[in-house]
A and B are shown apart, each in its own frame.
Chain A
């Protein structure tokens, strides 16, 4: 009888080796994070607080050389900070020395990062608050609100038709997304795919693509597709479809990842293959969350479809854009009122349905 594993290293060695490796990896992570902290602080101090607040410059000077110099300085300071093993990141990754210096270093730097972030945010937004209260702006807003409260019912039929178009765009995008998302979500669930290298690579690449697609707003997708397939409801539907698939695939796979492992183990232990395990142990656990997400998404899509219309995705949004361009505020008022009612009703219905399933 041959025994392949007898001449392996002893288990104790494996444990020690793993520990050393983990510490080294954490140290490298800590260096990067410390450099980032320092670079971030210096940038904020220079650009937001010094240039914008203290010197009050309108045009802030920018040069890549300047940034690079700052970065090199940060690398130097950040790395030295990590090497003392008293830095904020060392603490975060659990490799810091346990002494007074660490405590001070962590507390002061944490407090400092929080405060400059807050101050910089305040400096940056204050400028826009000033613009908001200019007298010209307020007068425009008054005119608009006045008209909105006296809607023009002459265009009711057209608006209703456009509204129905919007609802169907949303409905179709949601329906078509279901089978596609279902299929994809099994390949983007970590617990199903981490088994071997090939499946893990598929998982990783798919996740990357989905994250990318999701990070682009439906509005942008609508612009892209209206160039691709021409302005109109079709472009809007495809844009919503793409974004729905990417968002729901994430939600679906999270539902798959959070299922109880017990039944999965029990079914695997009977000698069932992967597909049987998914069908018998995974699917029954995820049907309800899937339904619920999908209904909620239909509700979101109705709202999105309205917005997408603004850039030529068809439906009520496109109509709104036309009347707004002509400054016909009473017509705009009717459309806005209609959108508000429909969104509210959809919201209510979808909440009721989701309650009923659970």
Chain B
């Protein structure tokens, strides 16, 4: 088991109770998708897992180790093993694609070397290799903000591959992309999951994408798990429970 979340609560400073005692177990190699309406707590869950925010109560175990309260150097070591992809890509706009990809390696580099830009040839090779995996090696020298949305997200994937992550978290990675691009970006997650055996936890909105890529689905509603199972088991009735009576399914392929 790679990840075990026990009785996880998150209460924000303003009193918002965003996660209400979640219990989740994730096996190595899974492609777990989390669905739910906006505000149901999907982002909060991912952020608690890699400790971008602090859980209020409960525990998170990563590779058999309780990481809920680790600090400093130890926390950075944990973070370095967990990749994260964001909806808005979060690249450094003014930096080149290559430099953005290399920045995924920061957790494993000496501070002084990384600031002076002293990277070994190995690191450059690895960066080009990862850019090749996501198919945009030829854009390595361009400024990140000149790329299209889909390309930027692929750079972000290459950046997290630099971490050689055991676990890849993706927070609505295709929510700001058009349907066709969404699908092609999702294919890279599938590739990473199948070829490198990297465990993926991904927040998604479109059920058609969920059915295509997920090995297991968890649905959240107001910070609680209301569904857990195979993507194929989500029928009309479950759909309405998760997204509300008004909702209707939209197809994207």
- A residues bordering B, Cβ < 8 Å? 1, 3-6, 8, 11-12, 14-15, 18-19, 262-263, 265-273, 275-276, 279-281, 284-285, 287
Interface string of B50-81 (1 = CB under 8 A from A): 10100011110000001011000000111111
**Residue contact A267 to B103, C-beta cutoff 8 Å:** yes
- Whether B247 is near chain A, meaning CB under 8 Å from some CB there, is no
- Helix, strand, loop or mixed for chain A's interface? helix
**Residue contact A11 to B15, C-beta cutoff 8 Å:** no
List the B side residues contacting A270 at CB < 8 Å. Answer: 79-80, 83, 103-107, 159-160, 162-163
**Residue contact B58 to A5, C-beta cutoff 8 Å:** yes
List the A side residues contacting B90 at CB < 8 Å. Answer: 262-263, 265-266
List the A side residues contacting B17 at CB < 8 Å. Answer: 11-12, 15
**Residue contact B76 to A272, C-beta cutoff 8 Å:** yes
Instruction: Please tell me the number of chain B residues within 8 Å of chain A, measured between CB atoms.
Output: 50
Apart from A15-B11, A270-B162, A276-B115, 12 more pairs, CB < 8 Å: A19-B15, A262-B88, A263-B93, A266-B84, A266-B90, A266-B91, A266-B156, A269-B79, A271-B76, A272-B107, A275-B111, A280-B92
- Helix, strand, loop or mixed for chain B's interface? mixed
**Residue contact A14 to B115, C-beta cutoff 8 Å:** no
CB distance from A38 to the nearest CB of B (A): 32
CB distance from B110 to the nearest CB of A (A): 10
- B residues bordering A, Cβ < 8 Å? 6-7, 9, 11, 13, 15, 17, 20, 50, 52, 56-59, 66, 68-69, 76-84, 86, 88-95, 103-109, 111, 114-115, 156, 159-160, 162-163
List the B side residues contacting A268 at CB < 8 Å. Answer: 52, 79
**Residue contact B106 to A267, C-beta cutoff 8 Å:** yes
List the B side residues contacting A267 at CB < 8 Å. Answer: 92, 103, 106
Which single residue of chain B is at the shortest CB-CB distance from A287? Answer: B94
- Cβ-closest 9 pairs across A and B: A271-B107, A271-B80, A272-B106, A262-B90, A266-B90, A271-B79, A269-B84, A271-B76, A5-B57
CA A271 to CA B162, docked complex, whole Å: 12
Which single residue of chain A is at the shortest CB-CB distance from B73? Answer: A273
Known contacts: A271-B106, A276-B114. The answer to whether A11 contacts B52 by CB under 8 A is: no
**Residue contact A14 to B56, C-beta cutoff 8 Å:** yes
CB distance from B222 to the nearest CB of A (A): 13
List the A side residues contacting B106 at CB < 8 Å. Answer: 267, 270-273, 276, 280
List the A side residues contacting B88 at CB < 8 Å. Answer: 262
CA A285 to CA B92, docked complex, whole Å: 8
CA A15 to CA B76, docked complex, whole Å: 30
Known contacts: A1-B66, A3-B59, A276-B114. The answer to whether A263 contacts B92 by CB under 8 A is: yes
CA A306 to CA B96, docked complex, whole Å: 44
Which single residue of chain B is at the shortest CB-CB distance from A269? Answer: B84
List the B side residues contacting A272 at CB < 8 Å. Answer: 76, 103, 106-107, 114
**Residue contact B115 to A18, C-beta cutoff 8 Å:** no
Which single residue of chain B is at the shortest CB-CB distance from A284? Answer: B94
